Structure formats: C-alpha cells, structure tokens
Amino acid sequence: MTTNAEPLSPVSRTALSVARVRAHESAQPEPLFVDPYAAAFAAAAGMPVRAVEPDRAFARSLVAHSILRTRFYDDRLLAAGAGQVVLLAAGLDTRAYRLDWPSGTRLYELDLAPVLAFKEQVLADHGAEPGCARTALPGDLLDPDWPRRLRAAGFDPRRPTAWLAEGLLVYLTAEQAAALFAAVGELSAPGSRLLLEKGRDVARTPRDPSLAHVTDLWEGGLGPDTHHWLAEHGWTIRLTGLTEIATAYGRPLPPGSGLHEAGFIEAVRDNAADWGNGPVSSSR
C-alpha cells in the first residue's frame, strides 16, 4: 500500500528509517517494546520491510541507540505521571496508541503537516485507536507562533507537562535549539519534565557514506553543553548514560559502537525534582 500524502522532507524521512528500526525490534523474540504500526509506515512509503542488520559499526550504533532510546523514553514518560504530554517533532511516534496511559492523559503531537497527514492515513487504514486523548497539531517548531497554537488547541501551561524531544535537537542549530527550549520553559509549570538526548559534537561524527542522508542533516543543536544550558535556564538535570541503560535492559552495546559517551537528559522545571521510579539508577 502507498499513500497519497505529500512527500516528506529529508529530515522527516528519517522518521521512516527509525520506524523500520522499531519494526525490526518489535519482531524479535524478546523485544524491548512492540510498535504494531511501525512496519505499516515503511510499507505505506514503499520502503522495504526487512531485518535491520547494518554491517558497519557506526550504523549498528545508531540502531542500538534508537532501540534503547525508545524503551527508555517509554518508561520515563509513564513514570512522569503528567496529565499533559507533548511530543515535539513527533514524527511517526505511536506512543499515544501503544502505551498504557493513565486515565485522563492528554497527549499533543507537533510536527509538519505532511508528516502528520501521512501518519493519520496509515493509522486510519489500520483502524488504530489512541489510548489517551490525542491532539495532532500541524506546524513548524521554527515558527515562533507554535506556543500560541498549542495553547489554542487546549494545552494548559499551568499544569505540569512531560515534554519529549526525541531525535530532534541534533537537526537544529544552536540558535534554533535555544529558542525552542526557551519557549518550552515558558510553557512549563513547576514539576514539568523534559526528555531528550545528551548533546553531541557533530564534528566528531564518523564518516559513513551509507548514512550521509542522515548525518549530513545534523546541525548539532546546543552540543555537549546542552545540559548546562538547561541548568542555567531553570531546570534541574539528571543524566543517564547509554551504557547504564543497555546494562539495565540486558542489551549490551555492540563492540566498537563508540556510544560510551551517549546518554539522555531528564530535566525537571524549577528545581521540583522528584524523579519517581526509573528503570535505571542515574546521576545528577
């Protein structure tokens, strides 16, 4: 099956690659998560749905990182216990459909209109029903008007919110990332949480021609100082290393992956840090 939706941008098409990884993991005998719609996205886009088994170290590391990242964010979003959840640049995320959300949860997905149109068509074709109150909000996060549009869609900035910026920051410049997180801060009541990856130095990215369609798009965001920037702008920070997560989930990192410095940031607004129960122990 293919859709009639508008073609996706190069950045948005990376969401299809990530969906293929989720489909691969979902088909394993003991998966870390199950995404019942991931393979459908790839099939609808005319992409081959086959095992994801890259033969280069850097590609293997990206696959491993994506799988661990998905499960970690699943766990931390549910542990946050927030009645409002916002997925920034949601892409083909299906957490609204596949996670067991508490009663009353309202989830907002923000992304470009073609991405959400493609997603809505595939999910409708498969009779998908969300497990929470879901609002898909088309728009560009680089447009300074997005916070107003989010509030107009029902978002309440007085309520604690769980924000997810999965795989987003690296595609932004430092100025764009700072503007985005400044807006998120203004919308975040005390106790709100923000989840994202640790910043990376994109200048040190290994050269792999097979991944150039992805890595050539990387701008670096706020880089390795991302957590420092957040700490200086009203957030209490906890860092969790990818090696620690891999051990906790029983998925050792592939040899030569170069992921020992990778990890995740969990930030709580206004120093209201009550971390709740997590799958791993983490350092502040």
Per-residue pLDDT of 198-244, as tens digits, reads 987 766 666 666 666 666 676 778 999 999 999 999 999 999 999 99
Q: What does the pLDDT read at residue 216?
A: 63
Q: How close are the terminal C-alpha atoms of the chain, in Å?
A: 47
pTM over the 0.85 mark: yes
Q: How confident is the model at residue 147 (pLDDT cuts 50, 70, 90)?
A: very high
Q: What is the mean pLDDT of the chain?
A: 86
| Residue closest to 72 by CA, chosen among 283, 270, 266 | 266
Residue 70 — φ and ψ, nearest 5°?
-60, -50
Q: Is pLDDT of 119 > 50?
A: yes
% of residues, the chain, pLDDT over 90: 67
Instruction: pLDDT band for 2, please (50, 70, 90 cuts).
Output: very low
pLDDT of residue 47: 74
- Across 50-56, average pLDDT: 58
What's the pLDDT score for residue 281?
A: 37
**57-269 is classed in which CATH architecture?**
3-Layer(aba) Sandwich (3.40)
The whole-number average pLDDT for the span 188-206 is 85
In sequence order, which residues have a C-beta less than 8 Å from that of residue 39 and are 6 or more positions away?
Answer: 19, 20, 23, 26, 27, 49
Range 25-49 average pLDDT: 90
Looking at the predicted structure, is the pLDDT value of residue 172 above 70? yes
Could you list the beta-strand ranges (E) of the chain.
84-88, 106-111, 133-138, 161-165, 193-197, 235-241, 263-269
The helix/strand/coil state of 245 is helix
Neighbours of 141 (CB within 10 A): 20
Confidence band, pLDDT 50/70/90 cuts, at residue 284: very low
CA 271/CA 107 separation, integer angstroms: 24
